[in-house]
Structure 1
Amino acid sequence: MDTRTIYELMIVANKLKFEELSEKLENFLIVANASWLKIHFSFVYHSIYKHNKFQNLEKFCNDIIAKHPSIIFESTEFTSLPESALVSILNRDDLQMKESEIWDYLIKWGTSRNPTLPEKLEEWSDENFMTLKSTVQQCLPLIRYFHVPSSDVIDKIKPYKKILDKQLWNNLKHHLLLPDRPKTYKILPPRLILTQELPARVNEIFSTIIKEEHVAKISSWIDSRQISYSLTNNPYEWQLILRGSKDGFAPRTFWDICDGHANTIVITKIEGTNEIIGGFNPLAWDKAKSGDMDTNKSFIFSFKDGNIHKSILSRVKIEKGALYCSDRKDKVGPCFGCDEFLMNSYVSDFTQDKQNQCHSSIDNCYEKSIRTTNDTFSIIDYEVFKVVEDPSKTSFFSTWD
Structure 2
Amino acid sequence: TISLDLVNGDEINFVELLTAADELTLTDLVDYMQEHIINMDRNWFQQNIVQVFNTVSIPKFVLDSNILDRKHTALICSWIDRKEDTAIYLPNENPYNLKLLLRGTRDGFLVEDFRKRCFNQGPTLIVIQTSSSKSGKAIIGGYNSSSWTGSNKFTHSAESFIFSLRNDSHSYISTLSRIVTENDAISDDDSHFIGFGHGDLYIFKGSCQKKDYMYGILDKNKFSMDELEVFQVVKDLETLQIP
Q: Give the structure-1-normalised TM-score.
A: 0.42
- State the match for 2:105 in structure 1: 245
Q: Measure the CA separation in 2 of the matches of 1:389 and 1:309.
A: 24
CA pair 228-222 structure 1, distance change in 2 beyond 3 A: same
- State the match for 1:382 in structure 2: 228
- State the match for 1:300 in structure 2: 162
Q: Measure the CA separation in 2 of the matches of 1:326 and 1:390.
A: 30
Q: Measure the CA separation in 2 of the matches of 1:218 and 1:370.
A: 14
Give the partner amino acid of 1:302: S
Q: Of Structure 1 and Structure 2, which has the larger fraction of its residues in helix?
A: 1
Contact 2:142–2:162, Cα closer than 8 Å, also in 1: yes
Q: Measure the CA separation in 1 of the matches of 2:146 and 2:95.
A: 19
Does residue 210 (structure 1) correspond to residue 68 (structure 2)? The answer is yes
Give the partner amino acid of 1:314: S
CA pair 225-320 structure 1, distance change in 2 beyond 3 A: same
Q: 1:223 aligned to 75, 81, 95, which one?
A: 81
Q: 1:311 aligned to 166, 174, 179, which one?
A: 174
Contact 2:63–2:98, Cα closer than 8 Å, also in 1: no
Q: Measure the CA separation in 1 of the matches of 2:231 and 2:147.
A: 13
Q: What are the residue-to-residue correspondences of 1:2-401 with 2, within 5 Å? A: 206-226=64-84, 227-272=87-132, 273-287=136-150, 289-306=151-168, 308-327=171-190, 329=191, 332=192, 334-344=194-204, 355-360=205-210, 364-374=211-221, 376-394=222-240
Contact 2:63–2:70, Cα closer than 8 Å, also in 1: no
Partner SS, residue 220 of structure 1 = helix
Cα offset, 1:206, TM superposition: 1.5
Q: Measure the CA separation in 2 of the matches of 1:358 and 1:248.
A: 21
Contact 1:301–1:370, Cα closer than 8 Å, also in 2: yes
Contact 2:130–2:137, Cα closer than 8 Å, also in 1: yes
Which one has the largest radius of gyration?
1
CA pair 333-212 structure 1, distance change in 2 beyond 3 A: farther
Q: Measure the CA separation in 2 of the matches of 1:367 and 1:222.
A: 16
Partner SS, residue 93 of structure 2 = coil
Give the partner amino acid of 1:292: F
Q: Runs of at least 4 residues of structure 1 off by over 6 A?
A: none
Partner SS, residue 297 of structure 1 = coil
Give the partner amino acid of 2:106: K
- Percent identical pairs in the alignment equals 31
Contact 1:241–1:384, Cα closer than 8 Å, also in 2: yes
* Unaligned stretches of 5+ residues in structure 1: 1-202, 345-354
Q: Measure the CA separation in 2 of the matches of 1:333 and 1:240.
A: 22
Q: Measure the CA separation in 1 of the matches of 2:117 and 2:97.
A: 19
Q: Measure the CA separation in 2 of the matches of 1:326 and 1:238.
A: 23
Contact 2:155–2:186, Cα closer than 8 Å, also in 1: yes
Cα offset, 1:304, TM superposition: 2.3
Q: Measure the CA separation in 2 of the matches of 1:377 and 1:326.
A: 20
Partner SS, residue 214 of structure 2 = coil
* Unaligned stretches of 5+ residues in structure 2: 1-60
Cα offset, 1:320, TM superposition: 1.0
Alpha-carbon RMSD across the aligned residues, in angstroms, is 2.0
Q: Measure the CA separation in 2 of the matches of 1:222 and 1:314.
A: 12
